[in-house]
Amino acid sequence: MKIVLDTNTYCDFAEGIDNIVDIVATRSKEIFIPAPVIGELHYGFRKGDRFEVNDGNLRQIIDLLKIQIIDVDLSVARKYGTIFLELVKKGRKIPINDVWVAACCMEVGGTLLTRDRHFNDVDQIDKMVIPP
């Protein structure tokens, strides 16, 4: 399975949370992180006082697990438009960055691993929503 990590599940993985580590270790053939997730992580890293450590850990995990970064390009932007329109039609709002995350997931045909239940409103992607 192609696993696409959301910000919260990357953080859980990096912290060694058992159920997330287990899912990544046993179910993934390929692992992806959307560029918007990298942006959210860097924002969090910069807010704290351990930027160098957290950024180094991110780079190490990406290298060690051969994680592929999903860039935002024209194809992803078009998928964003499709997803956002469907959410508007359904009267469902989710954070804008999460629409980009969903579009990135749709681009690679992956399964989004997340703790955010609002992704259940996104019909265009497969998702594994982990209870809090």
Question: pLDDT tens digit string along 89-108?
Answer: 999 999 999 999 999 999 99
Structural element, H or E, at residue 100 = helix 96-108
pTM of the model: 0.95
- Taking all residues of the chain, what is their mean pLDDT, rounded to a whole number? 97
* The CATH fold of domain 2-129: Rossmann fold (3.40.50)
Sketch the domain layout of the chain as residue ranges. Answer: 2-129
What pLDDT sits at residue 125? 98
Residue 112 pLDDT level (bands cut at 50, 70, 90): very high
pLDDT tops 90 at residue 26: yes
